[in-house]
């Protein structure tokens, strides 16, 4: 029987439209909704919202 992992890899994509992204993990039991984090975008040279997309 396959063991379903609780932590999954997700891609966080910048909402500034620069195409910048980073990969992180999230626990699907503790945070069932999609992540939205405020992260630094080096191409835009400012902090912007990063939203979760499929990896």
Contacts of 28 (CB under 8 A, 6+ apart): 6, 7, 8
pLDDT at 4: 79
Predicted confidence at residue 47, as pLDDT, reads: 97
The pTM of the full predicted model, rounded to 2 decimals, is 0.82
According to the model, what pLDDT value does residue 1 have?
A: 60
Q: What is the pLDDT of residues 1-55, one digit of tens each?
A: 667 789 999 999 999 999 999 999 999 999 999 999 999 999 999 999 999 998 8
What digits encode the pLDDT tens for the residues 5-20?
Answer: 899 999 999 999 999 9
Domain boundaries, the chain: 7-53
Q: Could you tell me which residues come within 8 angstroms of residue 46 by beta carbon, excluding any fewer than 6 positions away?
A: 16, 40
CATH architecture of the domain with residue range 7-53? Single Sheet (2.20)
């Amino acid at each position: 029987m396959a063991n379903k992992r609780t932590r999954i890899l997700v891609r966080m994509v910048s909402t500034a439209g620069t195409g910048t992204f980073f990969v992180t993990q999230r626990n699907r039991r503790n945070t069932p909704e999609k992540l939205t984090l405020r992260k630094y975008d080096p191409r835009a040279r400012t902090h912007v919202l990063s939203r979760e997309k499929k990896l």
